[in-house]
Every structure is written in structure tokens, then in C-alpha cells.
Structure 1
Amino acid sequence: MAKAAILEQVGGLTIGEVELADPAPHEVLIDTKACGLCHSDLHFIDGAYPHPLPAIPGHEAAGVVRAVGSEVKTVKPGDHVVSCLSAFCGHCEFCVTGRMALCLGGDTRRAQTAAPRITRNGGEPVAQMLNLSAFAEQMLIHEHACVAIDKDMPLDRAAIIGCAVTTGAGAIFNACSVVPGETVAVIGCGGVGLATINAAKIAGAGKVIAIDPLAEKRQLAEVLGATHTVDAMADDAVEQVMKITGGGVHHAIEAVGRQASADLAVKVLRRGGTATILGMMPLDCKVGLGAMDLLSGKKLQGAIMGMNHFPVDLPRLVDFYMRGLLDLDTIIAERIPLEKINEGFEKMKQGTSARSVVVFD
């Protein structure tokens, strides 16, 4: 039996007990050690994005491998691992063309006819969210949803690499291929935005402009490498960016998931610039380029999970932390027990602090 935060109905989580099956040939059983609270979880908890219930959210996690299935090649019991929601099959068109983040991960899930990975009350199925369900003392996942990392890496910090940092840093290194000296604007300074700012600094961006309505978040952004900050709600926010950059940014990265911030990303581009949307926007939102934007060679792209290659990217990000390049300590605002998870999400709604991380003993 494992303790878990279960989404029974839209609105909040309840703590309950679940049972995890024995690992199938390609599955890994992990003792979860830490899991970050991500805004994407909140979209499911609040019902903005639908999901079969009951389910266990949580997808930004690190832990220690307890057991592996008979065919698992990539990790072994005792390994420290970070999980990733963009599990990849390894043989579809997206995987073999190096776009693993786009893999739909079909055969990384159990077949509909197979016994479920997670049950409760003697057999009632519990839906696994994003192939992980990490708000639980244990996870049972496909081997292609985790990667082994350096055992010297603190697991509470490793956890947030699994989503926020992979997404933010991946946008800089993979989706945007930022060239040293280029200017970057990051709109939204939550966990993903702060990681994006930190990665832009590592990549050698010439100017890194953090745009957020909250002064507290703008201060955090400066700690993580922002060279300039702009209040997103200022009437002249676009003009401020134009003035700082002499005509707009090469890359504008939206890290909130709001219509207004996505539109702002397009507005602050220079000729030939690229706007990259990372946030999960409401499902009825649309972002667009006008005729003059297109004639100016501007581009607009989505970048799911930063278009990561997580088996390669994640150990590198761990190495960046160990070498003092990646600042994960500033991104983590608090560490909480599983029982305080609803309070953690309430704090997220206020928007003033960075990442909260659930830590399991």
C-alpha cells in the first residue's frame, strides 16, 4: 500500500491509500522522494483540462528505483531517477527523427485489456495521470519515463528538473537554439519562467528580460539571471521592451498559459524573431501572427516540454546544478509534506512564490 493524493472530483485532493501492481517487463517501481507542484496539475484539479477520475496527479518527481521488470535495460534497483511525463516509445516517426517530446507514448502505457497499474479498495482502478501519478509514495512507470542521475544530486532539487526546468531550459537549448548574444524575453516568472531565465543566462543571451506583474517574481528573476525586468501590466510594457532592446527581442518565451501573455510574446518580437508558447492555455485560446508580422519574418511555435530529449538533457541539467551553473535552490520556495498539498496549490493560486515541492520521508 502507498499513500497518495487522489483527485476524486474536481476541486481538491484527498489523501488515501492505493496499491501498485508488480512491474511488467518494461516497467519500473520507484519510491518517490520528492514531487514539485506544477500549474499543469492545477489545470486538472480545477477541471480546466478534463481527465478520467479518480486519478493521482503529480508529474515533476524524483525517487529511488525499488524494483524493475524483466526487460528493463536503462535503470536498476537503487538508482536515483527523475521521471518525465514525455515518455517515448523509441520507434515511432517522432522518436526516430529526434523529436521524442512529440511521441504519443502509446506502448509506454498498459494495454486497456491489461490489469491497471494503480488500484484501491481491493481492485478499483485509479487513473494514472500523464503516465506518472507522482503525488504518491510510489510510482509504477515505463522505463522510458525516467532516467538515472548522479546520486550526489539532492532529490528535492532533482524533482523540479522533471518538468519546470526541462521545459524552460529545453525551450532555450532545444526549441529556440538561443545563440550567445541574442536577446530573450520571458513572460511569466513561475517555476518554468525562472528556469527559462536561468537557462538563457547559461546560454549566454545578451539581454534577458523578465516580464511579470508581481514584483516578488521579478526580484527572483533578477537572482536567476534577468538583466532587465518589466511589469507585465504596465501600459507601456511593449514600449519598454522595444527601448531596452532597440527594436524587439530575438526570442519571446511565454511561460504562463494566458492569452494576454501569449499575445504580448508576439508583440515584443523584432523582425525575424520567434515567439515560443510553453504554457498550457485555456483550450479555446488562439495565438496569431498578423500580416505585417508574417511580412517581417516572425515565427510562432509551441514547444511541448521544451522539445526535450530527456535521457540526454536531464543528466546534463543535473551536471549544470552540480557545477553551480543552474540555480535550483532559488526556484524552490518551500518543502511540504503530502498532507499539505492542497495548501500548496492554494499558495500557487496566489502567484507570489516560486515552486513548492512535496517531500516524502
Structure 2
Amino acid sequence: MIGHGFMGAAHSVGWRQAPAAFDLPDSVEMAVLVGRNAGSVSAAALKWGWAESATDWRAVIARDDIDIIDIVTPGDSHAEIAIAALDAGKHVLCEKPLANSVEEASAMDAAAQLAADRGVRSMVGFTYRRVPAVTLLRDLVASGAVGRVRQVRAAYRQDWLVDENEPLAWRLQKEHAGSGALGDIGAHIIDMAQFVTGLTVDSVSGLVETLVKERPLRVGGASAGSSLAGAVGAGSPLGDVTVDDLALFTGRLSSGALASFEATRFATGRKNQLTIEVSGDRGALAFDLEDLNSLQFHDRTAPDDRQGFTRILVTEPVHPYVSGWWPAGHLLGYEHGFSHQVKDFVEAVSWGLDPAPSFADGLRVQQVLDAVEQSSSHDSAWVAVNQPALLT
């Protein structure tokens, strides 16, 4: 695994737990963790169960004993690492968003397609697909439970930037993160909307905004993209925030249905609330990450005395992924999605199948993100996804 920190910890839990929870077709060895700082990566490797640590990702990719490369670095290095790993014949799991630009994502997808011809697999880590309730939501929509999809409402709300003294970090600088709330959490709701409906977002009209344009730098002069050690003190110098804090956009789906999206880091009181609601002519389904073990289902065809949303507790062994864990009613958490991701990826690699979501799926999300930015820069005009011209 290349990179560590928050996502490194989450992925490490997935690699460690999946072989115990599921009967995988191959054994998994957590061989080496790679980071820039020898001391911190060594400590992380010891904490999360990696056999060794290293600071040179190129040397690790060249090793004959490494089969899979898991990329959890900031977005500005995804393309270089992934393409090098695929060219070296390594299977690649890459965190979302796939890249920082459509150009980088296109190059990654092209490399993945060439590698697939040699039996080398790749997948982008839209982990929320693997929350059992979200997978069940997809299955229910596909079975016709809501009928013809007419509208989708998706939002990802956080509040960690409400404090204007929150210091500048790599996620707030375009050269490292690509974009802000739009790419970081907006990518999730775009992928989820497409995943659960089986439709694509074909055109968008949107607005992105940077609400706080400068933030204090850490004492000691650490720059964004570094460990940012140290604290913010009185009179700390300010650095520019070069990404968005808030994105609001509407999308037209491939069926003609409409979708609304909100991605924000300024939703005061919302810590990590991802919601999606799919409305159809026969019913509706709704999911909230802050209640991730359940779905809300409305059956419009039910008798009048049984109308309204009902709760489905998604903890039965027949539900997606749940049979690997606990008895019914014993709840799963955020970390379990990463174990399910490992399960699906290892199975695909072992069985010679193309895993999903693919780099092509990641590219499609990147194209939607780019279209939203184009729309915002042209007074929220409608923009076709992957089309250079504005719609009239």
C-alpha cells in the first residue's frame, strides 16, 4: 500500500479483516507499506500490521513478490503511481477520485485497458458501494421495487471547515487535491447515484463556491502536502484556499430523469452525512450513512392503510456481505465497507474477472466533476458530460 494516514488506516483494516471474515480464494499478505517519512511509515506499518515499510514506491513496484498495489495517496500522485504499477504487471486498487483531472483519469483508464489484455486488473475505491444497505438499494431498484426512476436526490454534508481558523491542509489546495468538496465527497454521490440506478449523469448545471478563501498555515512553515506538523498560533500567516468548499448541481440522467446533488464541508452539525433517495412511479428508497444499517422503503402499490416509508434493517444473512459477520440485528460500521472492497477485489483478481468500479467508471465520475466546474464558470449553464461545448 502506497500512502497512509486516514485512508491508509481504513484500507489496512480492510486488508486485515477480509481474510478472516470471508473465505477468499487466495491468501493475503500485507507485505509492505510505503510513505515519504521513514519514521512515520514505520510506525504506521507496525500499528496496522504490515510486514515492513519503505519510502521508495518505485522500488516496491519493481519487486517480484508484490502482486497488488493499493494507492491511498493524495490525488496528484494517483496517475503516476497507478500507470507505473499497471505497466509493471501489478493489479491496482486506487482510492477515489481516480485522479485530479480528466486528462489524468483518461491516461489511467487507457493504461488499465492495456493491462487488462495481459490479465492485470484494476479498480477504483468507491467504498460506499460496499455498504450492505447501499448494495441492497441497488438490487431493489434493479428488481423494479420503485418502478421507473423519476428523480434522485443525493447529498454529502460535512462541517469540518465551518471554523475559519481550521488550518490549511493538502485537501484545500488544488495542486494536491484537484478540487475540494466537489471531488472529495461529491465524487461519492455521483458514483452512488449512477451505481444504484444503473443510469449515467449525462449533463449538469451547477455552482461551486469557496466560502473561506484564506486559512492559517501551521506554525513552523510546513506547507500543504507535508505532514503539517505543529499548531496554528495567534498571528499565523495565511495561505490561499484554491479549491471549493461547496458544490450544488443538478444532473439529467441517461433515462431523462433528474437528479440533484449537494457536496459541502459547511453543513454545520453534519459530521459525515451521505444521503440518497431514489423516487420512482411505484415507490421510493432512501439511505443515510449516519444510519448505515438500514434503508427506508415506500411501496406506493401497498393498500392505503399501509402507505408511508418503512424501515428495512439490513443485517440479515441474505443481505449483501452480511453473512460474513454477525447474527441478525448485530450492526456493522464504517470500516466494514473496506473489508468488502478487499473481498470483491481479491476474488476478481483470483478468478480473472474485471472488478467494479473500473477505472472507466472512475473516469466517468471525473468527467461529471469537470462538467460541473465548467458549468459553474459559465453562470451555471447546462454542460454535457465529456463534451467541450455548452448546451443551449
Which gives a bigger RCO, structure 1 or 2 (Cα 8 Å, sep 6+)?
A: 2
TM-score computed with the length of structure 1 as normaliser: 0.35
Instruction: Select the structure of larger CA radius of gyration.
Output: 2
TM-score computed with the length of structure 2 as normaliser: 0.33
- Whichever structure has more strand as a proportion of its residues is 1
